[in-house]
Amino acid sequence: MTTEPLTKRQRMAIGRQEMPARDAGERSGTFNEVNLGFTEQLALLEAQRCLACARPVCVEGCPVSVDIPSFVASIEAGDLAAAARALFGDNALPAVTGRVCPQEHQCEAVCVRGRKGAPVAIGHLERFVADWARGHPHDDVVTSEPSGRRVAIIGAGPGGLTAAGELARRGHDVTIYEALHLPGGVLSYGIPEFRLPNEIVDNEVDRLQALGVHIECNVVIGRTYTLDELRKSFDALFISVGAGLPMFLDIPGEGFKGVYTANEYLTRVNLMRAYAFPEADTPVLRGERVVVIGGGNVAIDAVRTARRLGARQAMIVYRRSRPEMPARVEEVHHAEQEGVTFEFQVNPVAIEGDADRWVTGLRVIATELGEPDESGRRAPRPIAGSERVIPCDAVVVAVGTRANPLLTSSSPDLALTNRGYLAADERGMTNLPGVFAGGDIVRGSATVILAMADGKRVADSIDSYLSGTPVELTAP
Amino acid sequence: MGHEVISNTSLSPTVHRLVVSAPRIAVVRQPGQFVIVRLGPGAERIPLTIVGSDAAAGTIELVIQAVGKSTADLVAVAAGSYIDDVAGPLGQPTDLITKGTAVCLAGGVGAAVMYPIARRLSEIGVELITVVGARSSASILFEDEFRSFGDLIVCTDDGSAGRAGFVTDALADLIAAQTVDVVYAAGPVPMMRAASAVTSPRDIRTIVSLNPIMVDGTGMCGGCRVTVAGAMRFACVDGPEFDAHSVDFDELADRLTTYGAAERIAVDHVCRSAGQPVTGRHGAG
Ligand SMILES: Cc1cc2nc3c(=O)[nH]c(=O)nc-3n(C[C@H](O)[C@H](O)[C@H](O)COP(=O)(O)OP(=O)(O)OC[C@H]3O[C@@H](n4cnc5c(N)ncnc54)[C@H](O)[C@@H]3O)c2cc1C
Ligand SMILES: Cc1cc2nc3c(=O)[nH]c(=O)nc-3n(C[C@H](O)[C@H](O)[C@H](O)COP(=O)(O)OP(=O)(O)OC[C@H]3O[C@@H](n4cnc5c(N)ncnc54)[C@H](O)[C@@H]3O)c2cc1C
Ligand code: SF4
Ligand code: FES
């Protein structure tokens, strides 16, 4: 280890280390993870770029206030165990967030080094420490006596999993109910293997089970049990069912064969492993030319999946311009390397099909950008006479999701927002005492880290609720 | 873990009745609801009607016609073996009438869908006429049971039992001869479409149980979408039963052919490789 601390000048002289990645040609044919992870050498160099600012703004940029300077300093000092302790103190799933957080809008967006040049690669470092920690498991222990209180968590996505761990460690008896046959939520059925390997979610689920958390799959709350039944048999509930209802464009042709929602397409491939058909039983149409409508992470995941399933042409059709795409910059970059093409500023008007109702193309109209709308993004306006057809044999609609009414419609007492999401107060409690909610079902489609932040905050609230002490509020 | 298959009996050359352990579902399920079943690692999630249940024994009854790889695998599960995943009860319960005359119309394995409905209607005490159709006498399902619920008309394509011809012809004669308040129908899409055409001129309320391809069964994927009265509905959460006169049957029939080529590959693959086990994460139940 270096004995002399580096000077600021020396630190400034180190450029941002590049994440080693599988070759684009090789990876566009497989579902193996694209990013290979920093080596110890790269991690050390990257950690040395941190200036250890007196006021670490990066921490403010992180929705869960990860103690970034501390874990980065521990990497630099070569003490990865200490780095892991610092990280896990604030973030239950760093191996996930290090891979999927939109760092460029969060911690790295405010990093001082980004003002001149590239910010510290906080996400890559986070992933490095988390992956090291998986190979060097620390003792995760229940720190409290059994409380004798039972908590039910509905939905095993990142929000539910985080809350489960926090509550179990404090001695509560936790049961997670999950509608699908595997836990993980979007991490299992949505985000593909090439971005987030399944073993990371499995690892977390194993840790929770070792803490005594019960996970019951194939239980659909609102159908198998009602919310009221759970309220009678548990002391508190956490609803973290996500926002899983896919939206359509409401244009002609959405019933044609070859039209998928991103949820169906990705679920077939990820959860049901259709990429291995016929070894696995679930099929998926492998289009030669696949068009994906949308510009978020979901759309990029779908288009990169199409490429891996053998599409010769895998295209994103997005109604705004490139800088407005909400997807993670790294994924867009990777998609381009893999040969994905982009059509910006076009709006779909109809899906075309042949006499047998198979998709043959997507009819689009070009748009120009008008004045910024209430979201601050410029609203696209169609240009008359600019319609044309993009030939394709599969269309994947990735234009967002809404609240799934399956659970809420079976509990009429539960207060909803006017958009159908759950209304919750600062503690995360709904209008029903002891019933808490968080993640996408409260926020609308948001992010993994925000769902986790909710899980953690609600675990605090539930703990206080169960012990009858007032909650100390922390900013979400 | 998993769900023990308590018994597996053959009802006709391709149809089996499985009694499966699913204690919670056995208690709360209602006529018209279904489960999503996944046999094990690598298997598909497929929807199957809950034909009956025994709450005390904690079992549900499934009646499965082997039409492809997944259903063939399920009917081959021996008593004492396990099915990894059974999720439910899913879908909306049947909207049952409480007085008047009902006709239950079942074609082929649609009898499995109609059985719990007919049974409950007979318990409620409405006038009930069941019409079941099958290819031949050997494949008629639940004949004795339906007879015990009320009147029964049997139709076979080859005339080997009951009346020769389609169930929808029998239905047309029925509604011409007497007052019918509601028709419940389940079976192949052409049969449901024809039933709808028969009752529509007289404006007889007709409820069909739709069978689109499903994945999750919770409203998450949109794969089960059907068009009803011009609007998109998800059969797994809004249905599976809808007003027949408003259903776009052409779209439903067409979407069911989506994986025709893949289904043939799945079956061929089994014939060639005799079903190598699929290992890995998804082996976890
Ligand atoms: C393809 C895709 C890519 C994404 N990429 C990113 C990314 O790169 N970075 C990022 O930060 N975010 C990303 N997101 C968003 C992120 O995944 C979500 O914001 C996050 O998963 C929300 O977590 P959650 O715990 O609220 O719900 P979810 O992850 O949606 O999990 C909810 C769980 O509840 C279950 N459930 C639903 N209803 C019931 C019921 N009635 N009974 C029992 N269980 C039920 C569901 O089956 C599901 O398992 C992506 C989303 C998708 C779809
Ligand atoms: C709500 C609901 C309840 C059902 N209840 C029953 C039941 O009680 N008993 C029963 O035997 N079947 C039932 N089905 C149909 C059953 O789910 C399908 O037969 C099964 O999914 C076919 O899978 P496979 O792999 O064996 O056949 P595949 O190889 O996938 O398909 C073989 C043939 O069946 C057709 N098919 C595929 N999927 C379906 C489907 N979902 N519905 C109808 N035809 C399909 C295909 O077009 C093809 O012609 C139900 C379907 C739904 C939606
Ligand atoms: S959790 Fe996300 S925002 Fe916070 S430090 Fe890690 S990568 Fe950055
Ligand atoms: S089966 Fe997925 S939404 Fe109905």
C-alpha pair distances (Å), A257 with each of A314, A358, A360, A392, B211? 18, 5, 10, 12, 16
Helices (H) and strands (E) in chain B, counts: 9, 17
Contact state of A261 with B223 under an 8 Å Cβ cutoff: yes
Tell me, what's the pLDDT at A141? 67
Report CA(B224)–ligand 2 centroid distance (Å): 12
Over range A350-359, report the average pLDDT. 96
What would the mean pLDDT of A159-185 be, rounded to a whole number? 96
Chain A residues contacting B via beta carbons under 8 Å? 179-182, 189, 198-199, 202, 217-220, 223-225, 244-246, 248, 254-255, 257-258, 260-261, 263-264, 267-268, 272-273, 276-283, 285, 356-357, 404-406
Query: Of A356, A359, A334, which Cα lies nearest the Cα of A260?
Result: A359
Say whether pLDDT at A142 is over 80: no
Q: pLDDT by residue (tens digit) across B11-38?
A: 988 999 999 999 999 999 999 999 999 9
- As a whole number, mean pLDDT of residues A372-400 equals 90
In angstroms, the Cα distances linking B20 to A281, A345, A369, B26, B216 are: 22, 53, 58, 10, 20
Task: Give B214 Cα–ligand 4 centroid separation in angstroms.
Answer: 5
Pocket of ligand 2 (CB under 6 A): B 34, 44, 46-49, 63-65, 67-71, 109, 112-113, 211-214, 240, 256-257, 263, 266
Nearest to A305 by CA among A224, A193, A385, A457: A193
Judge whether B68 is closer than 8 Å to chain A, CB to CB: no
* Helical axes A68-76 vs A40-48, angle rounded to 10°: 120
Residue A4 has pLDDT above 80, yes or no: no
Quote the pLDDT of residue B260: 86
Q: Which fold has domain A150-244+402-467?
A: FAD/NAD(P)-binding domain (3.50.50)
Mutate to test the pocket of ligand 3, among A107, A108, A125 (most ligand atoms within 8 A of CB): A107
With a 6 Å cutoff on the Cβ, whether A192 touches ligand 1 is no
Which regions of A281-420 does DSSP assign to beta strands (E)? 289-293, 313-318, 341-344, 346-353, 359-372, 378-382, 388-391, 394-397, 401-402
Is pLDDT above 90 for A107? yes
Measure in Å the smallest separation between the Cα of B285 and chain A Cα atoms: 7
In terms of C-beta density within 10 A (0-12 exposed, 13-18 middle, 19 or more buried), how is residue B251 classed? middle
B91 Cα nearest atom in ligand 2: 1
pLDDT of residue B265: 78
For the record, the structure tokens of B44 come out as 């598909």
DSSP three-state, residue A292: strand
Name the most confidently modeled range: A180-194, A318-332, A409-423. A180-194
Per-residue pLDDT, B160: 87
Cβ pair A179:B216 closer than 8 A: yes
A214-245: pLDDT as tens digits: 999 999 999 999 999 999 999 999 999 999 89
Distance A163 CA to ligand 3 centre (A): 18
CA distances from A412 to A408, A439, B93 (A): 7, 21, 18
Per-residue confidence (pLDDT) for residue A476, from 0 to 100: 42
Cβ atoms within 10 Å of B221's Cβ, excluding its own: 27
Tell me the best of B17, B33, B34, B46 to mutate to test the pocket of ligand 2, counting ligand atoms within 8 Å of each CB and taking the most.
B46
A8-135 has which CATH code?
A: 1.10.1060.10
Average pLDDT over residues A92-109: 93
Q: What is the pLDDT at residue B48?
A: 98
Contact A217 B85 (CB under 8 A): yes
ipTM confidence score: 0.92
Ligand lying nearest the CA atom of residue A450: 1
Asked if A121 and A19 touch (Cβ cutoff 8 Å), the reply is: yes
- Cβ <8 Å between B215 and A267: yes
Q: What is the pLDDT of residue B280?
A: 34
The Cα B118–Cα B111 span in angstroms is 10
Q: By alpha-carbon position, which residue is closest to atom 35 of ligand 2? A: B256
Q: How far is B140 from chain A (nearest CA, A)?
A: 30
Nearest atom in ligand 2 to the alpha carbon of residue B211 is: 53
Question: Do the Cβ atoms of A224 and B25 come within 8 Å?
Answer: yes
**Alpha carbon separation from A90 to A15, A70, A127, A472 (Å, rounded):** 28, 12, 14, 17
**Residue A190 Cβ < 6 Å to ligand 1:** yes
B42/A273 Cβ within 8 A:
yes
**Ligand (nearest to CA of B87):** 1
Laid out side by side, the sheet with B82-83 consists of B52-54, B59-65, B15-21, B3-10, B82-83
Q: Which of chain A's residues have a Cβ under 8 Å away from the Cβ of B53?
A: none
> Is B250 strand, coil or helix?
helix
* pLDDT of res. A381: 87
Question: From edge to edge, which strands make up the β-sheet containing A394-397?
Answer: A259-261, A394-397, A289-293, A313-318, A341-344
Name the CATH code of domain A249-399 (choices 3.40.220.10, 3.40.720.10, 3.30.750.24, 3.50.50.60): 3.50.50.60
CA-to-CA dists, residue A410 to A245, A312, A405, angstroms: 16, 45, 8
The answer to whether A92 and A166 have CB atoms below 8 angstroms apart is: yes
Kindly determine whether residue B70 and residue A404, on different chains, have CB atoms separated by under 8 Å: no
Residue contact B42–A248, C-beta within 8 A: no
Judging contacts by C-beta atoms under 8 Å, the chain B residues touching residue A405 are 219, 237
Q: For the beta carbon of residue A72, count every other beta carbon within 10 angstroms.
A: 27
Q: Which residues pair with B24 in a beta bridge?
A: none
Structure confidence at residue B267 (pLDDT): 76
Residue ID of nearest Cα to ligand 4 atom 2 = B221
Domain boundaries, chain B: 3-90, 101-209
Residues of chain B contacting residue A263, judged by C-beta atoms under 8 Å apart: 220-222
Give the residue among B205, B257, B252, B197 at the shortest CA–CA distance from B227.
B252
Q: Is A196 helix (H, G, I), strand (E, B) or coil?
A: coil
For residue A21, name the pLDDT band (cuts at 50, 70, 90): very high
How far does the CA of residue A364 sit from the closest CA of chain B (Å)?
Answer: 22
Does any CB of chain A come closer than 8 Å to the CB of residue B253?
no
CB A421 within 8 A of CB A444: yes
- Give the A:B interface size as CB pairs under 8 Å: 132
Residues of B in contact with A254 (CB under 8 A): 225, 232
The ligand placed nearest to the CA atom of residue A127 is 3
Alpha-carbon distance of B197 to B279, in angstroms, equals 48
Measure the CA–CA gap between A179 and A352, rounded to whole angstroms: 35
Residue A469 pLDDT level (bands cut at 50, 70, 90): low
Q: How far apart are CA A213 and CA A168, in angstroms?
A: 7
The pLDDT of residue A475 is: 43
Predicted confidence (pLDDT) at residue B235 exceeds the cutoff of 80: yes
| Rounded mean pLDDT, B240-256 | 97
pLDDT of B273 reads: 53
Whether B28 has its CB under 8 Å from any CB of chain A: the answer is yes
Q: Which residue has the tokens 């075309």?
A: A352
List the single residue in A223, A279, A405 with the smallest CB-CB distance to B42. Answer: A279
**What distance in Å separates residue B230's CA from the closest CA in chain A?**
11
What CATH number does domain B3-90 carry, 2.40.110.10, 3.60.20.30, 2.40.30.10, 3.40.50.300? 2.40.30.10
**Residue in A263, A275, A282, A409 to test binding to B, most B beta-carbons within 10 Å:** A282
Q: Separation of B239 CA from ligand 4 center, angstroms?
A: 11
**Is the pLDDT reported for residue B283 higher than 70?**
no
Q: Which residue of A has its CA nearest to B268?
A: A278
Is residue B275 over pLDDT 70? no
Domain B101-209 adopts which CATH fold? Answer: Rossmann fold (3.40.50)
* Cβ–Cβ below 8 Å for B24 and A224: yes
Task: Give span(s): CATH 1.10.1060.10, chain A.
Answer: 8-135
Q: Name the packing angle between helices A80-90 and A122-135 (round to 10°).
A: 110
